[in-house]
Structure 1
Amino acid sequence: MNSHEIVSRLKLSEKMALKYPRVCAAIDLDAILSNMRSMHDNLKPETKMIAVIKTDGYGFGAVPIAKMLETEDYIWGYASATVEEAMELRDNGVVKPILILGYTFPFSYDTLIDNEIRPAVFRYDQLEQLEERALLKAKTGWNGKVKVHIAVDTSMSRIGVRPDDEGAAFVAKALSMKYIEVEGIFTHFARADEKDLTDAISKKDIFASFIERVEKENNCRIPLHHCANSASIIQIPQAQMDMVRAGVTMYGMKPSEDVPTDKVKIGPALGLYSHIAYIKDVPAGVPVSYGGTFVTDKPTRMATVPVGYGDGYPRSLSNKGYVLIHGKKAPILGRVCMDQFMVDVSDIPEALENDEVTLIGWSGDSHISIEELGDLSGRFNYELACDLNPRIPRLYIRG
């Protein structure tokens, strides 16, 4: 770390110790902004970006991130998974477009229309019910259209129309509706984060051919074509189209180990910290935590950390994970409990009660990444980030 990082880290530590001693997730908004700009630098200047901030911004905090990105011209808008997530953004003053990537249930159609939230559409009943709700609003003086994005299934077998005759008929129907405006059409890659990109590129070509077909058949140009996810932004330039969707990489996490990191500079944006609650010395032969899955084989100095799987810290780290204290590794002993776990500080004699514990991030010159923690716990990095629940306070850092 350079001197600026060291000073910032000391200030952060002081803030956490005073306000959030039990546990705190430190979110570096500058790093997120830098990651977005770095990705945009890898695109054509006219290519717009969607910031994917579903699941509360992958656990990082959707509202603070969206508010920060509102002034970035290249950001078209945001993507969420549910109408509730979209409305949290609207209720907090976010005005850019919001696209819901999954299925939206009919109970929320009035809310969507009133707040100009874009649903993904792929079922005829969606079109009919959205048209019906819009017609009722038109009778009360509303004179807009419901903007939608058509989901096309090329890879995932999840949601979306197939790129075939039936899918083309659905697109034609959507384009014919009086109160519906087809603003976009999109697909999602299942294998863009692999070394062999043959599958992703072939699915991009299928998607592009389908768009060409439906636009020709309907004598139109759908304004926004998009298919590129985080991995594609980095390594499939031909998938840019009109817009790309930045997800995991905006948070400084790798899509996978197979995605190169030399083309786009991505920096971590998350630190997870706690403090030692208690230190005790125990002799050999003492079982630790539930089930006694670890028994000391020598006199051991143990520290209790007041964090557990109730916070989203993985129970699967039991007996194999570690934390950093004074820049040194402290192995986890026994099972991680709901609210606490124990670590071995026998080799860290300077460790004292109330000292800082690094679960993710820097401690002195040592670092534990979310990728490493994911590997140790049998999860992948952004699953781990999403599982850090609201009981963990977030401390947002800028400047």
Structure 2
Amino acid sequence: MKNYDRVWATVDLDAVKYNMVQMKNNIREDSKIMAVVKTDGYGHGAVPIAHEIEDMPFLHGFAVATVEEALILKGSGIRKPVLVLGYTFPYCYEKMAREEIRPTVFREDMLEEMGKAGQACGRPVKIHIKVDTGMSRIGIRPDESGLAFVKKCAETPGVEIEGIFTHFAKADEKDKTSAKKQLETFLAFTGQIHDQLGIRIPVRHCSNSAGIVELKEANLDAVRAGITLYGLWPSDEVKRDIISLQPVLSLKSRIVYIKKLEAGMEVSYGGTFVAKETMQVATIPVGYGDGYPRSLSNKGYVLIHGKKAPILGRVCMDQFMVDVSLIPEAVQSDEVTLIGRDGEESITMEELGELSGRFNYELACCLNKRVPRIYTRDGKVVYSKDSFRDFR
């Protein structure tokens, strides 16, 4: 893309749909998928991805972290349910009720205020109750106090219980003992809700991406697809021979300068790399100001003409340097692959995460608004988004 020669991320919409089908084929037939598109779709772009998959028949809806993220989806025309997974503040309850955004509840004050909001707008707020089965983050206890809370939810005017859920803390570990214990606790609690309170909650969900891959017994009415939606793996302990995933995002740039270094010359801030011999060095106009990890200094690499070019010295805010001594065909303006495939070589987010001391979730989310996103379908560009457009 000529307009984005400095840096651009390509988001493959076909890969998103491929990953959805792979996950659906691995879960219970009557389980639906809730696509987690928080943090702007883990940095990939929530709105284009949501629109691409909304009509898939097994998609229940979407999950986000904040009401603002939910309103962006609704404002873009998304029709299927949108659940806010975290706490929502009272200032937004009436707007959530009007837009039919599903809040997560776990406090009585939230419940009371949401009930008032539902009554004020003339339609009940459809709530999802969060149960803490071991994450110790948010959620009611799966005990008598929790049962009392569920009973109050059922009796509060202006709200309607649509869902109940929990979240696994260790489903991405090889040992599934903890996750299975959480699932057992959750199922026992929802059983008590049905048997003791006579309440049947329509949508029970607890499986995250790791659960979708390896815990079929946790496929309830819905599952929440997060990192796997984007073709990335929850951890290196999750089996990779159960489903196939296609990475959705690639990151590219171009060489802007090539110079010869003599032995003894230093590279970048602090002179942490010193040339031991004559070498050819290329400058790439990307840096930690774009979300590219500074911790890749002196240890990461990029691909040029299908060959590895190691990073030399410290990654700067807006630039970094690589060794192209063994790539004599490299010239200024050549394409550079920071994430993705070039010929027989590839750089995955998992690999970069390990090299940089981050993990793939963080790496994807940290690619910021300075990086334009280009969306493709069938190999053709169908949409692009850059923050600079907002001010032109």
**TM-score of the superposition, structure 2-length normalised?**
0.95
- Runs (4 or more) in structure 1 with deviation over 4 Å come to none
Question: What pairs up with 1:289-368 in 2 under 5 angstroms?
Answer: 289-368=268-347
Residue 209 of structure 2 contacts residue 225 of structure 2 at CA under 8 Å; is this kept in 1?
yes
The equivalent of 1:117 in structure 2 is 101
Question: What pairs up with 1:91-106 in 2 under 5 angstroms?
Answer: 91-106=75-90
Residue 64 of structure 2 contacts residue 85 of structure 2 at CA under 8 Å; is this kept in 1?
yes
Identity among equivalent positions (%) equals 57
SS at match of 2:289: helix
- Matched AA of 2:305: H
SS at match of 1:25: strand
- Kindly state the Cα deviation for residue 263 of structure 1 after the two structures are TM-superposed: 1.4
Aligned: 1:377 with 2:356: yes
- Kindly state the Cα deviation for residue 323 of structure 1 after the two structures are TM-superposed: 0.4
> Separation in 1 of the partners of 2:339 and 2:118?
48
The equivalent of 1:216 in structure 2 is 195
The equivalent of 1:66 in structure 2 is 50
> Separation in 1 of the partners of 2:120 and 2:360?
45
1:285 aligns with one of 253, 264, 276: 264
- Matched AA of 1:65: I
- Kindly state the Cα deviation for residue 155 of structure 1 after the two structures are TM-superposed: 2.0
- Matched AA of 1:36: M
The equivalent of 2:365 in structure 1 is 386
- Matched AA of 1:396: Y
Residue deviations 1:201-236 (CA, integer Å, cap 9, x gap): 111000000001112222121000000011111111
Aligned: 1:41 with 2:25: yes
> Separation in 2 of the partners of 1:363 and 1:70?
31
Structure 2 gaps, min length 5: 379-392
2:15 aligns with one of 31, 34, 37: 31
Residue 118 of structure 2 contacts residue 125 of structure 2 at CA under 8 Å; is this kept in 1?
yes
Residue 193 of structure 2 contacts residue 200 of structure 2 at CA under 8 Å; is this kept in 1?
no
- Kindly state the Cα deviation for residue 106 of structure 1 after the two structures are TM-superposed: 0.7
2:164 aligns with one of 159, 171, 185: 185
SS at match of 2:212: helix
SS at match of 1:228: coil
Structure 1 gaps, min length 5: 1-15
> Separation in 2 of the partners of 1:265 and 1:328?
26
SS at match of 2:286: coil
- Matched AA of 1:106: P
Question: What pairs up with 1:249-260 in 2 under 5 angstroms?
Answer: 249-260=228-239
- Matched AA of 2:197: N
The equivalent of 2:134 in structure 1 is 155
The equivalent of 1:263 in structure 2 is 242
**TM-score of the superposition, structure 1-length normalised?**
0.93
After superposing the two structures, state which structure 1 stretch, 311-320 or 43-52, moved more.
43-52
Alpha-carbon RMSD: 0.9
